[in-house]
Structure formats: C-alpha cells, structure tokens
Amino acid sequence: MSKKKITKRTKVKLDARMPFVKYVNYNHIMPTRYNVPTELSPSSICTDQQMDTLDGRKEARKFAKSLFQEKFQSPPLDKAGRPSKAILTFDVCCPHPWHRPPPAQYQKVEVVDSPWGDVHLGCDSTFPWAPHALAPALLHGPAYHPNTGEYMEELLPFKGSTSRGVRQDPADAQRPSGAATMAADRTLRVKQEVARRWSRMGFRSFLEGARLYYETRQWGIEMVAILTQIMANFAHSLSECTPVTLLAALIKAESLFDLDLAAGRRMHWTARALLQRALTEGRMNWTLGEETPSTFQSILTMALEHVRELEARRLPPARPWTVDLVFPLCKFGELSAISEGLALIGTGLVPPFDPLDGWPPGTLQARQARDHNRLRGFFRHARFRLFVYAVCGTYGLFGRHADTGSISPQEEARLAEAIFKGLPESILQLFRAPGAGLWGQRGGSHGSLPPLHLAVFEEEVPTGDVAAYVHHLAMASNSETLGNITMLLHPDFLEHIRAWLVVSVFRALLNGAWPQEVDFLYLGWRHEGPVTSEGRVASHLRYHCDIEPGAGGRLGPCDRGYNPRLLENMWRMVFGRDLDPFSGDDLGGYDFSQLLVTRRAVLRRPARYWRYLSRVLSARSSFELLPGTKFISRRIDLSVNDPHNKGVCAWFEHMWHMLFDPRYFPKQDGPQEVDLRSFTRLHDRDLPLGLRSGPDTVLGRHYWLNAEQQCRALQDEQGCRIYHMQQQK
C-alpha cells in the first residue's frame, strides 16, 4: 500500500467521527481490559475554562484530533516491542491515589467526586444513602425506584401502577392524628427500620455473603441490594474496594450466564482482565485494613472456578427448543393484548447480535461460534408455537357457535391477523417454524403470517385458565407433541409478569442460555407475605381462612371468594386424599397463574392423569357435591365481568408447584413432613443465580421487614394480620 493511501486511511476525518468534548459521569463508564497512555488525561486535553466557551471547545476538539491521530499513527509498544492493542486505561476509568502510600487501618482516603463524599474507609465503607432511597419504595410501591428513590410515575407502563404498596390498617386509620402527621411518622419509622438493616451492609458484608453463597447457595435481599449499588457505582467502588468490586463483577457474570451467554462471557473475561491488572499493580490489599490477602483471595478463587465451570457447562442445545405459548381466550379484544405483549418482547430483542457469542476474538470457541451462527443465525436456539383456546365459546370471536373442526381457514386467518399484523419481522420469524399443525389442525401460514393453533374448549362449568391449561398438557402429552418448554399465560400477561422478566426469558431461550435444569418457574410478580425465615412465601390458606381449633378441626370460614369446601373437594380430586391442615397440608405460591414448565416436568405424571384432571375440574358433578352451594351455570351464576368460576382460579394459583415440582409433591398418607409452600424465586437454592431476581417493588416490604416490623412501622393491614396470627399461636 502506498504512503499516500496509508496517510489517507490513518487520518482522523472531520465528519461525524470527529472528536467531541463533553462532561460524562464516572458512573456511566464501564471499565474494560483496554488502556490508553497515561498522558491522555482529560485535564491535558481540555480545561474547565475551555468548556465554558464555544471557541474553547473548538480548540479542544482540534487538539484532541491531532493527539488521537498521532497516537494512532505511532501506537504505544508492548513488552515485545510490538504495537499494543490496548485502548482504555484502568486509571482513567477508576482514578487511584498513586501519590499516597497505603493507608493505615480505618484511615480516611480522599477520592474526588465519589458517592461517599469525603469519608472513605476502603472496604469498611457502607452505603449510607441506600435506606433513604428504599424507604419511599416500601411505602409507595413502584412509583419510586428502590435504589435511587427517584419518582417514576411517568416511566410505568400501566395506568394505576403507582397504587400504594401498603394497605393501611383500618385501626390505624381511625386514630385522631391528622393524615399528614401519620404519613410523616410512618415514613420516619420505615427509614429507621431499613437503616437498622443497612447499617451493617457494605463491602465486608458482601464478601461474607459471597462466601456463604458459594458454600450453601444462600442468596438474600441484602446481597441483591449491595450488588446493585456496586454495579451502579462501579468506577468509584473499584477505587474504594477493588477486591470486593471485582468479586461483584464475577457474580454478575454468573447471573448473566443464565440469561445471555454472550454477555456473561464478556463480563467474565473483562473481570478476569481487571483482576489480573489489579494484581499486577498491587491494588488488591491496600484498602483491606487488618484483613490478610488470603481472606479475599480464597473467595475470588472460588468465584473464578465457579464461573469457569459454569461457562464450560452452560452450552446451548444441540437442536432448537420448541417453545409453546398457550393462551385461554374469551373475547376477540383479548387478541390485541397478546399482540401488545409480543410487541414489547420484540423491543427487548433489539441489541445487536454477537457473531462470536462473547468469546474473545482469535480463540477456537470464537471460530466455532462464528461458523455455527452463519448456518443458523440469531434465532437458532428456539422456535415458538402459539396456541389459543376459546374457553367461552366462539360466538364472541366469530359471531357464531362452532367447534374445533368447523372453524374455517378464513376465521383462523382473521385471528392470526389480529395478533401478528403490525409486529416486527424479528417476532414473526420466531413463530414461522416449519411443520404442520398439531392434532389434525391446520398449521400452514396465512399468507406472510405465522400459523395459529386454535381450539375450542367446552366446559360444563367454566374455570377460566385452570382446565384449559391442563387440557393442553393432556392433549400434547397424549399425542407426543409436547414442546420442550410450555409457557402458560393470560392474554394480558404484561399486567401479571414484569416486562423485564418476560423479555429476559425470551432472550435466554433464543440465545441458548436458558438453564436446562429448571423444570418449573412461577412468572407472576405477586405472592403472599411476609417471607418466612426459610425464604418461602406466606401461607395463602391461613391468610384467607380460619381453622377450627383442635385436631380434626374443619377449614373455614374464609374470606369472600374463597370457598373452603371447594378447596377440600379440589384437593381430593388432585391429590387423591383429604386435606388435613393440622398434618402440614398448606398451599402458597405466586398469584396470576403465569407459568413456565418443561416437558420433563409434565411427563412426571402420566397423560391419563392430565386428562382426568382437565375433565374433573370443570365437571358439573364436582360443583354439585359442595354443601351449601348450588351448581354454577354460565347463564345464571356467572356475570359478564367474571364469566368463569373464580373460586377454582383463586385456589389453584397457589397449587401449581405441587403438580410439577417433586420437592412439593404431597404425601399420600401420614403427616406431611415437607413444607408445601413454594420458595420465592430469590431464595430458591435450586434455581440458578440469573433467575433468583429481587422482589417486585410492591413486595419489597415482605423481604425487608417481618410481620411485626410491618405492623409497627407501616401499620400494614396484611402484616398486622399475620403478626396477630403468630401471637395467637
């Protein structure tokens, strides 16, 4: 290549790529393994006086242009005398007081523009601002961000989502003090309770929590909160306490391996490079006070080995997964809710596709990933099928009554168009899986739209989603067409599942990161609280129903909408024995019946069991047997707003885990030795870390405060009721 062409190609052009100068917060900079020469400090390129004037900024840009061009044409050399490939410095990202010797124990260290202000205790530092940000979130639910305290009403997706997270106790509401005084007192009490927990939470407690996690898989709300604060203030945390910050980066990489393999690998290799650089520059022990290096080195070694094993074990499937989305449908308008949900999922698939799957360039794994991606493309690990069950007949859909066999192709096309029309091509491509329809249905695409599998499900007594879910599992398992993963959802699933969770699940399925050991997962965001010391949800049965004292006492009375005789009858049908709360029978799970189950979980029970269950749950005889009630008919007893038996749905929402997860299978005889209440996603040790997400903001109080604290600090109706029940025992 001629010198003229080389000069032309190495010139920094005066176009859109021209250097610019602007103020950037350190919190918005993510360190990488690259570096630049130390002489490229911001103060040597542009001063604060130049930033105040237009001419000054022009001069700074020209100087930056000449400096970048000079460094590009004459790059720094590595130890071997070759041009270095490094681009960004550890020091520019995370300033280090090289001019000071290592501080003595508990000596204050000055770091400019830090969240800790002018008080720096290194790894003894805590996060004093956190309680003040968390308290409004516990009081007012999702209207306030739990980590920053920022008011977020205009960022919420649904109208009415800013409803208060606390239901005030009626006894407290009748007190003579004014509303403003009561609100101020309650805010102060909440801050005091939260500050008591946060006072001992910092870098050192995170180090001990990480040790406990690697030894026992225990993970709690405190670890989630500290990890969030460290990653949100990564640059300053790296200066404040390098070992614990790098440990947090490795734990973050572990969580990403369950959601996005490429992102997990990139985070892993970046953390390893930063760790090596910190060891080389002697940054690993200057802020630890009296701690010996072996204390944190052993935990970092465990973290590195754990992430390496996870990276080697977490492999994408050899064949693409078949993922079934199952929706019970009652009205034509619910199709638009499905379409809106799929459109939101599409927005979460926008990030650019990494052809190397996060592997470092030049490695054998990177070359294999690149060749594999050329063959299959981005959507290579999952194909989706959409199933719709008309549970209220077809009159509301087509204006006439019909069964599955009499639905015309034009009517199916009309439903498919209502769901898929207007969706981005990336979403349509997910549902254009090859193959004909199932169980004799039409499976071909309607023009350019993906296929839609429609079936009419007639019930003697409408049960909403319960019998339709079970019917799909019975039909699919009987015909051996059950997908690898089945997601049982409502048409308005966006109101019951937080958007970030459903997008994360879809992305994990598409990029092959979904952990194959997970057989069942509640997707809803709400459950009863407060959380027990073992990490289980509160009892749905004992919260809504009383139990007669003494052995053999009957269940009831219950709150409105909860029929105790209906539960006893359902328990006998589902588990083959009588309900006995005194022997340990209980139920508690997540609300809304939004589920993810695998083929392995469904096939743990025979197909005849699912057929029997789908028939008996909606049979007329099941409701005629209930004492004190009459048969529920669609014409007389069901209203327009509730066109199904809400009692079945209300109880069954908290029983699904007892059908799919062997840990919760009730014993057929004798006392129940295992607690039948489900673990929360955060506290379930059998779940991988990426799925052990923190609670929804509305439920934050159930994780931070126990029943007594909720009643005393919040005057919360639910907390006070649980606390009084505990006192009566």
Task: Note the pLDDT of residue 98.
Answer: 36
> In degrees rounded to 5, what are phi and psi of residue 578?
-75, 150
Task: Note the pLDDT of residue 588.
Answer: 92
- Helical spans, DSSP H, in 348-465: 364-376, 395-398, 409-420, 425-430
Residue 62: which residues within 8 A CB-CB, separation 6 or more?
none
Q: How far apart are CA 631 and CA 623, in angstroms?
A: 6
Q: How far apart are CA 657 and CA 687, in angstroms?
A: 14
**What is the 3 state secondary structure string of 273-334?**
HHHHHHHHCCCCCCCCCCCCHHHHHHHHHHHHHHHHHHHHHCCCCCCCEEEEEEEEECCCCH
Task: Note the pLDDT of residue 181.
Answer: 62
Based on its alpha-carbon atoms, the radius of gyration of the chain, rounded to whole angstroms, reads 29
How many other CB atoms are there within 10 angstroms of residue 545's CB atom? 18
Task: Note the pLDDT of residue 596.
Answer: 96
Q: Note the pLDDT tens digit of each residue in 280-337.
A: 766 665 444 444 455 677 888 889 888 888 888 877 787 888 999 999 988 888 899 9
Task: Note the pLDDT of residue 421.
Answer: 86
Q: Note the pLDDT tens digit of each residue in 52-108.
A: 788 888 888 888 777 777 766 666 666 556 555 443 333 333 333 333 344 454 544
Task: Note the pLDDT of residue 493.
Answer: 92
Per DSSP bridges, beta strands 555-558 and 453-456 are unpaired
Task: Note the pLDDT of residue 147.
Answer: 58
In the chain, which stretches have pLDDT less than 70? 1-3, 5-19, 24-44, 71-114, 117-118, 140-184, 186, 281-295, 350-380, 395, 433-447, 549-553, 624-645, 670-672, 729
Domain boundaries, the chain: 3-93, 535-699
Looking up tokens 């719709």 gives 388
pTM for the whole structure: 0.76
Per DSSP bridges, beta strands 382-390 and 321-329 are parallel
